[in-house]
């Protein structure tokens, strides 16, 4: 999985094309992710005990993972990701790395 929770991503297609945002959650089964401030939709909320008035609220809707790319701050745009094995205190672990700059994501 190239995209995980709390990653910064770049939206490659759709209404919010070109925007960046933080990933709030990832649904592996449906291959979608919720991105903060992207793909906003209005929803009619029924009155509840928490919100007695109800009304129209704006929420983020899921975006398919194929429409997202990891964002590299040093490049200032989207990047491709690869994995590398790094030995840390005698243990090997997988780390996601930017292909162009080689920096850890």
Domains of the chain: 8-78 (2.30.30.30)
End-to-end CA distance of the chain: 13
pLDDT, residue 25, reads 97
SS3 call for 104: strand
Among 71, 57, 77, 95, which residue's Cα sits nearest to residue 23?
71
- Specify the pTM: 0.84
Q: Tell me how far apart the alpha carbons of residues 39 and 23 are, in angstroms, rounded to a whole number.
A: 12
pLDDT, residue 88, reads 84
pLDDT digit of tens for each residue in the chain (105 aa)? 689 999 999 999 999 999 999 999 999 999 999 999 999 999 999 999 988 988 999 999 999 999 999 999 889 999 999 999 999 888 999 999 999 988 888
pLDDT, residue 40, reads 96
Q: Tell me how far apart the alpha carbons of residues 12 and 19 are, in angstroms, rounded to a whole number.
A: 8
pLDDT, residue 2, reads 85
């Amino acid at each position: 999985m190239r995209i995980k929770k709390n990653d910064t991503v770049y939206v490659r297609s759709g209404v919010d094309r070109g925007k960046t945002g933080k990933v709030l959650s990832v649904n592996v089964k449906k291959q979608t992710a919720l991105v903060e401030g992207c793909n906003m939709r209005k929803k009619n909320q029924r009155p509840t005990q928490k919100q007695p008035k109800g009304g129209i609220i704006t929420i983020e809707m899921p975006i398919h993972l194929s429409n997202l790319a990891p964002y590299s701050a040093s490049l200032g745009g989207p990047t491709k990701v690869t994995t590398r094995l790094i030995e840390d205190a005698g243990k090997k672990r997988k780390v996601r790395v930017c292909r162009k700059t080689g920096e850890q994501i």
